[in-house]
Homo-oligomer: A and B are copies of this chain.
Amino acid sequence: MPQTIGVGMLGYAFMGKAHAHAYKTLFYVAWPPPLVPRLAVVAGRDEPSVRAAAERYGFDRAVTRWEDVVADPAVDLFDNCGPNHLHAEPTIAAVEAGKHVICEKPLGRDADESFGIWQAAEAAGVVHMCAFNYRFVPAIRLARELIAGGRLGKVLHVRGRYLQDWGATSEEQWRFDRSLAGSGALGDIGSHLVDLVRYLVGEITAVTASTRTFQPERSVDDAFGAVCELDQGALGTLEASRFAPGRKNGLALEVNAEDGSLAFDLERPNELLVSEGGAGFRTTLVTEPEHPFGGWWWPPGHVIGWEHTFVHELEHLLGAIAGRNEVAPHGATFEDGYRAAEVCDAILRSSVAGAREEVAYRSVTASERAAARR
């Protein structure tokens, strides 16, 4: 039996449930797991609710202050499932306490905050991951293999749209408040697109964009559209909205390369569409034994759910902590979280300025970092 790792979590709602589910499931699905997660402590503001969550998900104890998670010696890994404005401070505190960390996306509310979180984690020397879980959809991993393996030739186009329909009716007020969320559809769902473009194709070097806020009392965007320049010369188009009736979780991605194309839709996450040799698209159910994560689950054709991206992701994180693999390139590090935030910031700047904006990524060498710490 592998060693145990203590997990401390901030938040127990949508993302907390998904992460808890994954820790419990990876144990036997990815058998033997790199490390055996022990759910040590969960933090939330409302004491009865967090107690109930602890009982439900099997945490050893519940606390109402995240500081108690960070300080807990039983915690080796800090898992931040809190809202955006609770990403930076607790995560930085955790890394400074020597905890490994995973933080939900977007990493910070803007590039500056994200950069700070990344730098703190680097300085602390811990393992860090930004939870861009769609990298762990088997069809997306297969797409990466096809592109990176050169099978489709040079990429010319990538287009992504992430459409949902709940923008007019949601009651999660923090999501519409810039001081709490940073941005709206852009950071919440658009950042997934940015990360997938970076993972599958390459770095975004410039953007030109417009945003929209359909409900005037909101301080964040409800939608955006952007045209992107990529470092290898490809043209990218990205769009996200929370005001697209009929689209429930419509992350659709298409890549056109010299010798073929790929298409993916998160509403049918087990399928990858591939066009090669001048022919139309073949629908591949990514459930064969030879497919990514194929051996983990069921016989061919027995599709897995959205939630199991987290099983793959957290197993990968535990593998990194155990020294079996690196977080990059298949997992997103805090650097990836930061870089996505730079692109999102450039989209906002471009929308305001009405001009193409370069994306200037800050890079920090180890010696600079050491100097900065002094």
Contacts and interface: CB of A to CB of B under 8 A. Distances in A.
Interface stretch (A92-100, A113-121, A238-246, A336-344): A238-246
A138 B260 CA distance: 25
A223 interface: yes
Given A235-B212, A356-B355, A256 B245 contact: yes
- Copy number in the complex reads 4
A282 to B, nearest CB: 4
Interface stretch (A66-74, A196-204, A297-305, A322-330): A297-305
Interface string A53-76: 001111000000000000000000
A161 interface: yes
B248 A280 contact: yes
A217 to B, nearest CB: 16
Interface stretch (A104-112, A224-232, A312-320, A363-371): A224-232
B304 A306 contact: yes
A153 to B, nearest CB: 9
A260 B304 CA distance: 25
A175 interface: no
A25 B235 CA distance: 42
A279 B355 contact: no
B223 A226 contact: no
A225 B237 contact: yes
A interface SS class: mixed
Contacts of A268: 268, 303
Contacts of A243: 156-157, 256, 258
A270 B271 CA distance: 13
Interface of A: 1, 14, 17-18, 20-21, 24-25, 27-29, 31-32, 55-58, 156-157, 159, 161, 163-166, 168, 208-210, 212, 214, 223-227, 229, 233, 235-237, 239, 241, 243-250, 256-261, 266-271, 275-276, 278-285, 287, 297-308, 350, 354-356
Given A245-B275, A247-B301, 19 more contacts: A14-B298, A14-B299, A24-B24, A24-B28, A28-B57, A163-B256, A166-B299, A166-B300, A168-B258, A208-B227, A225-B235, A235-B241, A237-B237, A237-B239, A245-B278, A246-B281, A248-B301, A304-B305, A304-B307
27 contacts: A17-B28, A28-B57, A28-B58, A157-B243, A159-B239, A164-B301, A166-B300, A168-B258, A208-B354, A209-B227, A212-B233, A223-B235, A225-B227, A237-B239, A245-B259, A245-B276, A246-B261, A246-B275, A247-B275, A248-B300, A250-B301, A266-B301, A267-B270, A268-B303, A304-B307, A305-B307, A305-B308
